[in-house]
Structure 1
């Protein structure tokens, strides 16, 4: 029997489930895990949330009020220097040549940085790149954690109609160095329209709407398609009735300047910002993103772990940085797990963590703690895959590839080890309380 089992294992003939056990066993519905008796209770007062939201808006619009670049040349040069010794692989599975990076470096014209200092607004879902190119750079040519889809040149994606400060332009004027509210990098000039003081004054109304549904198609007054607005995107609100709201939307004219138009959306897709901070509202937004495909750096207009958490809390006016380590260290009150055993970590999460208001952080990954389930913490996160190890000691990876509710040990059925990499509890470095209803405060960022 044993020899037959090993033979089947070596031949790959043993049937395996399509997904991990957690996703099969745990109900993928956030409304199932919240306390129904208090789910609609406001977690902070309206006055406190108004101040939190004002802080969010000040950070969001800050790029329009800069007089000079925020980033020094050494920060901008990092991407070019980083890949000189390891050029990586292109979309064809072949190694990049030195001439590839040399051409990008010459075209960037960084010896004249900064050569610009104007403000703009995105007019589409825009990619922010480490280098001024749409072409990818993979660490290796295989379909793995270091290969596809992990294009290391993808810094982030930015929603339509996001404020931007442009500090630099490439020689061919096809790319600009864009300082957005939460990330800096190279952006195609076609993704932008330039704004002036009159436009900014008309846009910063103080009355905003935010999308609570994902990838909502927007159209102008003539029915022409504009773009898809992601959950968490905000726009000026100018009119509303019982069922709809009219938003200001920016589009580019033939000269590349931003001009204003209007788009009507239903109140099922967008709401006045900030949305009331309650457990049921957080759960509803999280449900909108259940099963969303994983998108490294926002590729294909999908989300990775940190953009998932960032966008869930945007409608409430809770500002989160873009990357996981910054969310953990700057997003709220950080509680470090240094020198704690796995059992002590779990105990602290269950005792001190606030469901739906607490982030858990391990290096390179951020998760939303959603509560105690049968004595164990549950999390919501966008996850690419889990480590596997078979009976013969072969290490691999099981692709998950979407946002899901799991335990802190997802995919344990595919492992035969207990290394730090295999169990999230072992590698969690700390947790972050975003807003403590008992002691709410406005963070200075």
Structure 2
């Protein structure tokens, strides 16, 4: 997803799967108060996991669910999810003041004002002065000093570490961003399970990569990180984050991050040969419009990839469709080709356009 407002087409549906009552979105545009852009210009920080939205609303917007690859979870108002501790630049507030238009390290969009706090110079200085840890296990619970749950961290989440002298048996001290009664960011102390955090950045080697991939494999697919689940680009972003390799949030941008080699105009056989000859396993991205995968080497002479994907394209005489998979997994570039209705003209291999070597 991208942009502040979606195209005004006639095949949109709301939460009740009916067309929006207001096709022009006039009231929501008014709520966005874009004339106030840049009037606040404050620093902020995320204090609880929150959605980054294209509109200042949590109401979803789908395309016609009867279309292949549409409906839930493809909410076109969802940009991504922001995690606790992510820094923000706050441009301005909505007309009612209940949403903030922000720029994050991932994208720009709208955040519920209750999920952020405004950061003054004192907070920023202290927060940035601490060494960092990164979550290497999924759903890592962070608790306060009284043992109460505050939030959880997903793989790739970065958080400042507390004084190691205060660590207790089996627990690692971390800093927690909170909001005071005035909405100002304050720092509290908490703990998380020892072993769930690693020093940031984590050394890049195949053993560590395998451990991170094991945490991500089998997790549900989530467009725009909806419900805390990952789509293709979010999964790769979180896979490389522990190693200090920052990737943009969206697949097309990720494909432009390193040494990019075009695969356009090549036959499927030529594409495979090019990837096998020049790709570096676990350091090379494979991209086609709308999807990105990690090259994982070969299995029985065929290319293997690691990716988060929604489904396999199918086709009958009457219509196109999807065989839903909705997970992160190792597959070939032609997953599901054995299915009787698989669309063999729409495999990943046939649609591949480029490979990107992130680093050597």
Following TM superposition, by how much is the alpha carbon of 1:435 offset from its aligned partner in structure 2, in angstroms?
Answer: 1.4
1:221 matched to 2:145: yes
Shifted more, 286-295 versus 138-147: the winner is: 138-147
Residues 247 and 367 (structure 1 numbering): CA distance in 2 closer, same or farther, change over 3 Å?
same
1:368 matched to 2:304: no
Following TM superposition, by how much is the alpha carbon of 1:144 offset from its aligned partner in structure 2, in angstroms?
Answer: 4.2
Question: In structure 1, how many angstroms separate the alpha carbons of the residues matched to 2:123 and 2:235?
Answer: 30
Following TM superposition, by how much is the alpha carbon of 1:417 offset from its aligned partner in structure 2, in angstroms?
Answer: 6.6
Following TM superposition, by how much is the alpha carbon of 1:206 offset from its aligned partner in structure 2, in angstroms?
Answer: 5.1
1:340 matched to 2:261: no
Question: In structure 2, how many angstroms separate the alpha carbons of the residues matched to 1:264 and 1:396?
Answer: 47
Describe the SS at the equivalent of 2:161: strand
Give 1:286's match in structure 2, choosing from 213, 233, 241.
213
- The structure with higher relative contact order (CA 8 Å, sep 6+) is 1
* C-alpha contact 2:68 2:320 (8 A) present in aligned 1: no
| Mapping of residues 30-49 of structure 1, within 5 Å | none
Give 1:382's match in structure 2, choosing from 295, 308, 323.
308
1:314 matched to 2:241: yes
Residues 366 and 389 (structure 1 numbering): CA distance in 2 closer, same or farther, change over 3 Å?
same
What is the match of residue 336 of structure 2? 411
* C-alpha contact 1:378 1:408 (8 A) present in aligned 2: yes
What is the match of residue 35 of structure 2? 111
What is the match of residue 275 of structure 2? 349
Deviations 1:124-168 (A, max 9, x none): 111011111100001114374121221010011111110000001
* C-alpha contact 2:12 2:20 (8 A) present in aligned 1: yes
1:102 matched to 2:29: no
Following TM superposition, by how much is the alpha carbon of 1:215 offset from its aligned partner in structure 2, in angstroms?
Answer: 1.4
What is the match of residue 156 of structure 2? 232
Describe the SS at the equivalent of 1:79: coil
Question: In structure 2, how many angstroms separate the alpha carbons of the residues matched to 1:326 and 1:400?
Answer: 25
What is the match of residue 179 of structure 1? 103
Question: In structure 2, how many angstroms separate the alpha carbons of the residues matched to 1:289 and 1:160?
Answer: 20
Question: Any runs of at least 4 consecutive aligned residues in structure 1 with deviations exceeding 6 A, and if so which?
Answer: none
Residues 219 and 416 (structure 1 numbering): CA distance in 2 closer, same or farther, change over 3 Å?
closer
Give 1:401's match in structure 2, choosing from 314, 326, 347.
326
- How does the TM-score come out when normalised to structure 1? 0.77
What is the match of residue 134 of structure 1? 58
Question: In structure 2, how many angstroms separate the alpha carbons of the residues matched to 1:389 and 1:116?
Answer: 51
**Structure with max Cα Rg:** 1
Following TM superposition, by how much is the alpha carbon of 1:370 offset from its aligned partner in structure 2, in angstroms?
Answer: 0.9
Question: In structure 2, how many angstroms separate the alpha carbons of the residues matched to 1:187 and 1:86?
Answer: 27
Task: Could you tell me which runs of 5 or more consecutive residues in structure 2 were left unpaired when the two chains were aligned.
Answer: none
Shifted more, 143-152 versus 255-264: the winner is: 143-152
Aligned length: 356
Question: As a proportion of its length, which structure holds more helix?
Answer: 1
Deviations 1:335-387 (A, max 9, x none): 11122111111011111111111111111001011111100010111110001
1:305 matched to 2:229: no
Task: Could you tell me which runs of 5 or more consecutive residues in structure 1 were left unpaired when the two chains were aligned.
Answer: 1-75, 437-445
- How does the TM-score come out when normalised to structure 2? 0.94
| Mapping of residues 182-193 of structure 1, within 5 Å | 182-193=106-117
Question: As a proportion of its length, which structure holds more strand?
Answer: 2
* C-alpha contact 1:87 1:97 (8 A) present in aligned 2: no
* C-alpha contact 1:142 1:148 (8 A) present in aligned 2: no
What is the match of residue 168 of structure 1? 92
Residues 144 and 337 (structure 1 numbering): CA distance in 2 closer, same or farther, change over 3 Å?
closer
Question: In structure 2, how many angstroms separate the alpha carbons of the residues matched to 1:95 and 1:129?
Answer: 20
* C-alpha contact 1:389 1:415 (8 A) present in aligned 2: no
Residues 92 and 192 (structure 1 numbering): CA distance in 2 closer, same or farther, change over 3 Å?
same
* C-alpha contact 1:87 1:98 (8 A) present in aligned 2: no
